[in-house]
Amino acid sequence: MVTDSRTRLVEAAQQLFAQQGVSATSPRDVLAASGVGQGSLYHHFPTKHDLALAAVAATAAETLEAARGRLQGDAAPLDRVVAYLERPRDALGGCRVGRLTADQAVVDDDGLRAEVAGYFTGLIDEVAAVLRETGLDADAALDRARACVAIIQGGYVLARATQDPELLRSAVRGFVALLTGPATA
Amino acid sequence: MVTDSRTRLVEAAQQLFAQQGVSATSPRDVLAASGVGQGSLYHHFPTKHDLALAAVAATAAETLEAARGRLQGDAAPLDRVVAYLERPRDALGGCRVGRLTADQAVVDDDGLRAEVAGYFTGLIDEVAAVLRETGLDADAALDRARACVAIIQGGYVLARATQDPELLRSAVRGFVALLTGPATA
């Protein structure tokens, strides 16, 4: 089935990118991991770039959707931000989108970088909108939203560097204590 | 001069690692960039691993020393932490140490990872010591110190993802506003 082989190729690429990065992943690796035929690969994705773009876009969309699930709802706005910050994460695996920014080939490719940038600006906008509900003005909400997203990305870096997931949790705990302190609630 | 060629090799490796990562850098690249002779390379660094270890250790030591310069001194403790957070940074270049954590080959190598981990735990300990001077208890100071270090690493990720240095500055501004708020000062 045509649709199915395309999905399998994209999913295999997403997984390999998360494990070893875009640069180190060849179309041949994706082909082997997906189990689809070579003709199907070139039918759906004539170039490695087409495949990379589809896989990075899919990862960005899935990750943004998961964040939206925490940020929307009926709970108090600050509670939703805290729920987003504190959700369980694969600390040692790292952020599937954030890690791509360390790959110079991704940063140098306008199409791939646009997907990664779109994920982060979309996420920051969502968090900023929730923070404005707490009464913050637009500029302060934007700075604080960027801090929220940065603390997660930085926590992943610390956890991976030390191979200790506690460092992500601890950084988030330190940040949430500031965020929910009496003066800022 | 023997000392000089060793230093030139290490400095060339540091620069190449910062630009393209450890995995993508060959001893041949370092040799070409350093301008020293091949015999000298193998005299000082019999294996690529020896050279990588020396270069990563040198980068970690230099970066930690620069941070200490901001964190020590006669200013009020919180002012020193803010000076560390707000120091000018090459946002688009990324942290020369932090970016190494995205390189799976670095994370999988116990020796290299120990250098990167040592940098972060050393830096966190410095920041935590300064935060304890503000009256925080040890656990809260450690969480907050990890948040301080994470906000910088995450700010780099956001700046690189969007190719906009303002995102690092904005995340730091959002964090500093929480850190220096009336309830937490």
Is pLDDT above 90 for A154? yes
Q: What is the pLDDT of residues A89-103, one digit of tens each?
A: 999 988 889 888 878
pLDDT recorded at residue B184: 39
Q: Which ipTM was obtained for this model?
A: 0.89
Please give the structure tokens belonging to residue A28: 């041949």
pLDDT recorded at residue B183: 46
Count of Cβ atoms closer than 10 Å to residue A130 Cβ: 24
Q: What is the pLDDT of residues A29-81, one digit of tens each?
A: 999 999 999 999 999 999 999 999 999 999 999 999 999 999 999 999 999 99
Task: Measure Cα distances from B53 to A51, A92, A165, B114 in Å.
Answer: 35, 22, 24, 10
Tokens 């700046």 — which residue? Answer: B159
Q: Establish if B185 touches chain A: CB-CB under 8 angstroms.
A: no
pLDDT recorded at residue B98: 87
User: Among A97, A170, A182, whose Cβ lies nearest the Cβ of B143?
Assistant: A170
For residue A35, is it left (φ>0), alpha (ψ between -120 and 50) or beta? left
**Beta-carbon separation of B167 and A184 below 8 A:** no
Distance CA A124, CA A118 (A): 10
- Residue B184 within any structural domain of the chain: no
Total number of residues shown for chain A: 185
Among A25, A95, A106, A153, pick the best mutation site for testing chain B contact (most B Cβ within 10 A). Answer: A153
- Residue B85 within any structural domain of the chain: yes
User: Among A146, A168, A181, whose Cβ lies nearest the Cβ of B171?
Assistant: A146
Distance CA A162, CA A118 (A): 29
Q: How confident is the model at residue A182 (pLDDT cuts 50, 70, 90)?
A: low
Distance CA A144, CA B171 (A): 7
Task: State which residues form the domain around B163.
Answer: 2-179
**Beta-carbon separation of A157 and B162 below 8 A:** no
A-contacting residues in B 30-89 (Cβ below 8 Å): none
Q: Which residues of A48-68 are buried (b: 16+ CB within 10 A; e: fewer)?
A: beebbbbbbbbbbeebbeebe
Is pLDDT above 70 for A142? yes
With pLDDT > 90 as the criterion, what percentage of chain B qualifies? 82
pLDDT recorded at residue A107: 85
- Residue A162 within any structural domain of the chain: yes
The CA-based dihedral angle spanning residues A153, A156, A162, A168, taken in that order and rounded to the nearest 10 degrees: 100
CA of B52 vs chain A CAs: smallest distance (Å): 16
**Beta-carbon separation of B24 and A23 below 8 A:** yes
Eight-state DSSP code of residue A101: G
What is the tally of structural domains in chain A? 1
Within 8 A by CB and 6+ apart from B92, the residues are B159, B160, B163, B165
User: Among A107, A140, A150, whose Cβ lies nearest the Cβ of B154?
Assistant: A150
Distance CA B65, CA A130 (A): 39
- Residue B112 within any structural domain of the chain: yes
Among B59, B86, B127, B153, pick the best mutation site for testing chain A contact (most A Cβ within 10 A). Answer: B153
Segments in chain B below pLDDT 70: 1-3, 182-185
- Residue B153 within any structural domain of the chain: yes
**Beta-carbon separation of A98 and B161 below 8 A:** yes
- Report the amino acid identity of residue A52: A
What is the tally of helices (H) and strands (E) in chain B? 9, 0
Q: What is the pLDDT of residues B14-35, one digit of tens each?
A: 999 988 889 889 999 999 999 9
3-state DSSP assignment of residue A86:
helix
Nearest-by-CA chain B residue for A143: B174
The CA-based dihedral angle spanning residues A151, A156, A161, A163, taken in that order and rounded to the nearest 10 degrees: 130
Q: How confident is the model at residue A185 (pLDDT cuts 50, 70, 90)?
A: very low
Among A20, A90, A160, A184, pick the best mutation site for testing chain B contact (most B Cβ within 10 A). Answer: A160
Chain B residue numbers touching A86 (CB-CB < 8 A): none
Please give the structure tokens belonging to residue B174: 């959002």
- Residue B103 within any structural domain of the chain: yes
For residue B112, which of B156, B59, B157 has the smallest C-alpha distance?
B59
- Residue A66 within any structural domain of the chain: yes
- CATH number of the structural domain spanning residue B74: 1.10.357.10
- Residue B66 within any structural domain of the chain: yes
**Beta-carbon separation of B151 and A154 below 8 A:** yes
